Each structure stands twice: as structure tokens, then as C-alpha cells.
Amino acid sequence: MRTTTARRRLLAATALLPVLALAGCGSDPKIAGPAAGGPAATATEDVVSGLATSDTAAALLPAEVRASGVLTFGSSFGAPPAAFYADQASKKQVGVDVDFSDAVAKVLGLTVRRQEAAFETILPALDSGKFDVGTGNFGVTAARLKTIDFVTYIDDGQGFAVKKDNTTVQPVTDLVQLCGLTIGTGAGTTFETTLNAKKGVCADAGRKPYEVKAFSEGGALLTGLQQGRVDVEMSTINGLRHQASQEAAGVRFLNEFHRLDVGFAFKKGSPLTPAFQAAVNQLIKDGTYQRILRKWGLTDSAIKESQISPPEHP
């Protein structure tokens, strides 16, 4: 679970946001908004509860897991449309990650024991055995594949956004365009890794380096952009498109930068991956997969079939 300090940071960040800027702080059932691929259905649509167990997929689970019937998921929240709270008062958890987790569990005949955790703590906790599965819109990268196995379920990736009234910054096709600017991103993300690894491009071009500010909470990152403490936000393509669809956020989506597969995360060598792959492919086959994506306006993120630890997109 998150520490008390982390919870206080989350509440503080949320309090700074304008009305529904995160699109996850109100109870309006239509806050799910489109990210890409057309209009989304309402966030209250139930596309999971009627699913039946697939004996074929469930048979791939380790015997001890079938016997216990429970898996512990470490999940990060606060990033629509992946995983967020539809209502802060009730802490109702919604999002595409939530729906896919629950759907896969249904197909496998399992119960999800979901524990909220800070994004940057989830992958290390898989190796320690604290969590069986990690969800947090985790992109499949070459670096992560050294220690983590993935079962893919959508295609997302890296993108950029600015304040809506910022017309100076144009679509980013080369990080040298960011030289001299302050870039805000999430702590422990592929975005932070990419930005820090490529800082030398500015020196090579004889230009002032860009500054990277990493935030542990999505709300604090958005507030930093809104208040001008960062010039550009680097985050998920779907998340940024979602923000841009919320008028109160005041965000303009710039462009996609690098596509990545997104997957359920597991300890390297986990025996759970074949069953999860079979479950995702069953959801694709029976049409539930497309219904979940339509619900969240993410049909452009569809994959044809689930894979176990595929190489990073070039």
C-alpha cells in the first residue's frame, strides 16, 4: 500500500487542480472522454462481470494458484484513462487497466487482490514477491525486459503535450527541439529514462541542455505544466490525449514520439505468463477486448494478439 506521505502528496496535488483537470476527481460517468479512436462509452459501462472462466486458459495456471484462486496485483492510480478514481469519496477504481485486469481474472477463474502502490515501486516489488502482477500502463522496453516479463494487452507509448496557449513548441520529432526547456514527466517511467539518457543531444548541438523534472504523482505533473513550472509534459500517448480532451486541463497534445507495447508485468521467469497470454487472446477472440477499448476510446491502441515479452518497438 502507499505510505501516508504518498497519500498526502496525492491529496495535495489533487487539491491544486482546476475542476476535473485530471478527469478522475468527479463522479460524472462521462469523464472517461476519448483518448484516440473515436468517442468513448460511459465509464460506468460493465463489460466484465458476465465473463465465464476458460478451462483451457485456467489449466495453464500453476496448481497452487488455481488452488488459492487469488492473485495480488500491484497497481498505480491517478492516470486516466489507464487507472484512476471515478470518485475520490468512494475510491471507486476505474480505467482500462482495471477492466483488463478484472477481465483476465474472470477468464482464469481468479479473484484480484489489488493493492495501490506508487508507480516506481511496482516493478522492483515483483522480484521480491510482494506482488504477483504489476499494472501501471507499463511499456515494454529493452531495459525492463532484462528483469521483467510482460504479457501485452495494448499498444501505447511516449508523447508530448504543452499548455493549450503555448504555440511556440511544435511536435517533437527530435529531443534537440527541447533544448533549453524544462520537461516534466513521471518518476521511474520510460519517459524519464529516455530524457536522461539523451541529454547529451543538446551539448552535441551546441545548445543549452533541457532540464528534467520527475513527479511521483500525475496530478502534481499536470499542475506543474498548468502553473508554468515545466514547459512540456512527456507521458503516455493515451494519457495525454485524454488530458487534452478535458477542457479544464488546458492541455494541447503535441504528437506521438515512440510507440510501445504495454503489458501486465511479472517477475522474470514467472509461470503466470502463459495463462495471462491465453486469457488476453480469449478476450480478443470473444469480442470483450474491443468492447473494453471502445469503452475508454482506445480502439487505436488495439493489438492483434497478446505476446509474452516481445522486443521493444524500434
Segment 79-131, tens digit of pLDDT:
899 999 888 788 889 999 999 999 999 999 999 999 999 999 999 999 999 99
What does the alpha-carbon distance between residue 259 and residue 254 come to, in Å, rounded to a whole number? Answer: 15
Q: Which residues contact 4 (CB under 8 A, 6 or more apart)?
A: none
Q: Where are the alpha helices (DSSP H) in the chain?
A: 4-16, 55-58, 63-68, 96-108, 119-128, 190-197, 200-204, 218-226, 237-245, 273-286, 288-295
Q: Which three cell numbers stand for residue 87?
A: 470518485
Q: Which residue has the cell 478484472?
A: 102
Nearest to 42 by CA among 86, 75, 79: 86
90 alpha-carbon distance from chain centroid: 22
pLDDT band, residue 295 (cuts 50/70/90) = very high
Residue 152 has pLDDT above 60, yes or no: yes
CA distance 61 to 104: 12
Which residue in 61, 294, 290 sits closest to 304, CA to CA?
290
> What pLDDT score was predicted for residue 43?
63
Q: How far apart, in whole angstroms, are the C-alpha atoms of residue 268 and residue 151?
A: 12
| Whether the Cβ atoms of residue 73 and residue 131 lie closer than 8 Å to each other | yes
State whether residue 172 is helix, strand or coil: coil
Short-list 186, 138, 64, 158, CA closest to 309: 138
From residue 298, alpha-carbon distances to 107, 195, 205 in Å are 22, 26, 37
Mean pLDDT score of the chain: 87
pLDDT-based confidence at residue 24 (cuts at 50, 70, 90):
very low
Q: What is the pLDDT of residues 29-41, one digit of tens each?
A: 233 344 444 434 3
What are the grid coordinates assigned to 114, written together?
489489488
Q: Taking the model in full, what pTM does it have?
A: 0.84
Residue 269: which region, alpha, beta or left (left: phi > 0; alpha: psi -120 to 50)? left
Average pLDDT over residues 265-290: 98
